[in-house]
């Protein structure tokens, strides 16, 4: 599902550089990425999602070379094929919970918003324990509730690849288990793949594989 070859990336400002000769995640695999803060874990997810593009090398998701797509095509590919749970949530303050979850369907013609999608969004909020907060605005939510909204939004299009950046980082132990169960069930139900950045080492035994980012050559802080 994910194939990276000879990728090199650096930010124009700063000394950070990420080099990856080879990185693969198999279809249907649930892989966790660990490593110290600033090592480039979030940068890796952004490269896979096409939010960033490598200076050289190939980043492939399925049969698509994401690194070679135009900006518009990368955005459409990401919205339709990748569910991204951002570390800082990326919620819009002026939208309520339900509209935040549905927002990807309103910003591109690549997704079709219909009653089935609305019903699925409502069901996701109930599964996440925020079904009674659909009309609340993002500013009225706790950090943990914002996290669950972000996860609902990522799962709604039933993507083939889920990228999670500290998806359980703002949750208590009970809800961490709930969220991971929901992510794993979505992966299994739709034949999807999960790549999760996490500092929750107590959860690592639930993943198929753990990737230590210190195995990769890199320079400077992210």
- Is 162 part of a structural domain of the chain? yes
CATH code of the domain in which 15 resides: 3.40.50.300
- Is 221 part of a structural domain of the chain? no
- Is 205 part of a structural domain of the chain? yes
Contacts of 180 (CB under 8 A, 6+ apart): 167, 168, 203, 206
pLDDT in tens, 84-142: 988 888 999 999 999 999 999 998 888 999 999 999 999 999 988 899 999 999 999 98
- Is 42 part of a structural domain of the chain? yes
- Is 89 part of a structural domain of the chain? yes
- Is 78 part of a structural domain of the chain? yes
Mean pLDDT value across residues 168-178: 79
pLDDT at 81 over 90: yes
In the prediction, which pLDDT does 181 show?
Answer: 86
pLDDT at 220 over 80: no
Count of domains in the chain? 1
Residue 205, domain extent: 2-212
- Is 115 part of a structural domain of the chain? yes
In the prediction, which pLDDT does 48 show?
Answer: 96
pLDDT in tens, 33-66: 998 888 889 999 999 999 999 999 999 999 999 9
- For residues 151 and 142, give the distance between their C-alpha atoms in angstroms, rounded to a whole number: 14
What's the chain look like in SS3?
CEEEEEEEEECCCCCCEEEEEEEEECCCCEEEEECCCCCCHHHHHHHHHCCCCCCEEEEEECCEEHHHCCHHHHHHHHHHHEEEECCCCCCCCCCEHHHHHHHHHHCCCCCCCCHHHHHHHHHHHHHCCCHHHCCCEHHHCCHHHHHHHHHHHHHCCCCCEEEEECCCCCCCHHHHHHHHHHHHHHHHHCCCEEEEECCCHHHHHHCCEEEEHHHCCEECCC
In the prediction, which pLDDT does 216 show?
Answer: 62
- Is 161 part of a structural domain of the chain? yes
In the prediction, which pLDDT does 100 show?
Answer: 97
């Amino acid at each position: 599902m994910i194939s990276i070859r000879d990728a090199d990336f650096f930010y124009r400002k700063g000394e950070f550089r990420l080099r990856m000769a080879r990185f693969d995640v198999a279809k249907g695999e649930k892989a966790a990425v660990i490593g110290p803060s600033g090592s480039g874990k979030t940068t890796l997810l952004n490269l896979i999602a096409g939010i960033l593009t490598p200076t050289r090398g190939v980043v492939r998701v399925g049969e698509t070379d994401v690194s070679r797509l135009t900006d518009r095509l990368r955005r459409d590919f990401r919205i339709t094929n990748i569910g991204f749970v951002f570390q800082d949530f990326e919620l819009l303050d002026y939208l309520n919970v339900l509209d935040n979850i549905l927002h990807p369907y309103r910003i591109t013609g690549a997704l079709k918003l219909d009653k089935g999608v609305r019903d699925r969004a409502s069901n996701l909020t109930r599964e996440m324990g925020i079904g009674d907060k659909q009309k609340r605005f993002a500013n009225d939510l706790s950090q943990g509730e914002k996290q669950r909204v972000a996860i609902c939004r990522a799962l709604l299009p039933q993507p083939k690849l889920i990228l999670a950046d500290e998806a359980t980082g703002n949750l208590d132990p009970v809800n961490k288990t709930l969220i991971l169960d929901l992510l794993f069930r979505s992966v299994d139900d739709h034949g999807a793949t999960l790549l999760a950045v996490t500092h929750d080492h107590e959860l690592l035994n639930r993943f198929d594989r753990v990737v230590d980012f210190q195995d990769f050559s890199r320079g400077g802080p992210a």
